Amino acid sequence: MRRRKAKRDLTIEQQLARGPIDLPFLALVMLLTVIGLIMLLSASYASAYYNMDPNVNTGGNPYYYFMRQVAFAVLGVVAMFVVSKIDYQRLRLLSVPAIFVSILLLALVLTPLGRSGGGAQRWISLAGIRFQPLELAKISVIMFFAARLSKRNDQLKGPPKKWNRHTPVGRIGAFLDKIGFLELVPYGLILVVVLFLLYKQPHMSGMILVLISAAAVLFASGIRLYWFFGAGTLACGALWFLITQTEYMTARINAWLNPLSDLRGDGYQLWQSQIAIGSGGLLGVGLGNSHQKYLFLPEEHNDFIFAIVCEELGLVGACLILALFALLIIRGYWLALHARDRFGTLLIVGITTLTAAQVILNIGVVTGVLPTTGISLPFFSYGGTALAVQLASMGIVLAVSRQIVAPKAE
């Protein structure tokens, strides 16, 4: 009786927040996480045993990377279930503090607290914990954009701002307001600050992911299409400038176009990745039987882990894993279409698009379709912070899924 009375005393929002989570989405997340851990164990034990990374002391323990990843996976799963039980409407209030904390952490990367690796300074060390602030920044940008843009329809229905058209400033302001430029200013300022801090690291792949996820939320909110064409042209021009003016990016592009021209340098990794993929054939050489992971392929347990997947599981196994990712992404967009309100829709669109972009770009890099970047494969690549944040972001999707039973509202 007490339980029934307590349930009646709950508000509608509180009752909805206690609804069932989406089991198909949860099953896909858990399945990808488990398969990712298995593949990480297979791909990483050789490099962990020989302790080839100067920035990591594995102590010759072949299970070093695997055990750390398992620990973060457990932490991430716990975080996912905790977040899934929170009313996602509370994320509106957290969006502003989250974006400012993310910017602060990105700025600290450029201070003595920052840590270098692979020719870039992208990590920060606090209280003995080393992590990439980019992982938090990606989700914070999505939360901030979703929280503000979810109220866009109500703001547009309000009385238009009055401009003094008798002055040049008033006429310019009225024109910019009419074409929708002024409403984009807050989002543009946030993006400029985040992208500038990522550029200083430098982290080109991080810049691309932030732009894609932000653009997805803006697109889903109904921003006029001509802004995307203009911003896309500007982004391509800026990308070309950065590539031509940054030595390490230029070298990567040249190695991508012709890896055989520099097999002792930047072309080595891509060439070894293609050898691993080709060696797998249709059915693969068998789980744990990869040859390329024995110090031939760099980053075999990180950004290039999919090459080991192709070598050990073959084309069939690789396609099955890609099918799981495709189902996860499709299910995510389905949940976005059925979310209770616009805020939930925009949250899922941003998170799902971010996951899809990481998968597509990582596969493109590993197969040689795209230039080499530092984009990891979700749930598979080694990186405790990345895995924990990915699982926590899946918790946000599950939190929204608890409330899809309600009628859709603005």
Model confidence pLDDT, tens digit, residues 175-213: 666 656 667 788 889 999 999 998 888 788 888 899 999
Residue 407 lies in a domain: no
pLDDT confidence tier of residue 406, bands split at 50, 70 and 90: very low
Give the range of the structural domain holding residue 95, as residue numbers without chain letter: 20-401
- CA distances 223 to 156, 161, 197, 286, Å, are 12, 19, 26, 49
* pLDDT (mean) for 277-301: 91
Q: Helices 384-401 and 342-367: crossing angle, nearest 10°?
A: 140
pLDDT at 407 over 50: no
How far from 6 is each of 9, 53, 151, CA to CA, in Å?
Answer: 5, 56, 32
Task: Report the DSSP pairing between strands 129-131 and 114-117.
Answer: unpaired
Is residue 245 assigned to a domain?
yes
More confident residue, 409 or 244: 244
Q: Does residue 321 form part of some domain?
A: yes
Q: Is residue 4 part of a domain?
A: no
Q: Average pLDDT of 93-117?
A: 87
- Res 1: pLDDT: 47
Q: Is residue 62 part of a domain?
A: yes
Confidence check: pLDDT of 81 > 90: yes
409 in a structural domain: no
Task: Give the separation between CA 402 and CA 410, rounded to whole angstroms.
Answer: 17
Residue of higher predicted confidence among 408 and 298: 298
Q: Is the pTM of this model over 0.75?
A: yes
Q: Is residue 312 a part of any domain in this protein? A: yes
Let me know the angle formed at the C-alpha of 283 by 277 and 287, rounded to the nearest 5 degrees: 80
Mean pLDDT score of the chain, rounded to an integer?
84
**Count of domains for the chain:** 1
Highest-confidence range of 46-60, 77-91, 254-268, by mean pLDDT?
77-91
384 CB-side CA count, 13 A: 15
> What pLDDT, on a 0 to 100 scale, did the predictor assign at position 115?
76
- Does the residue 368 lie in any domain? yes
> Which range, 129-133, 157-161, 299-303, 353-357, is most confident?
353-357
How many other C-beta atoms can be found within 10 angstroms of the C-beta atom of residue 186? 12
Residue 95's identity, in one-letter code, is S
309-346 pLDDT, tens digit each: 999 999 999 999 999 999 999 999 999 999 989 999 99
* pLDDT number for residue 164: 58
Q: Using 50, 70 and 90 to split pLDDT, how confident is the model at 157?
A: low
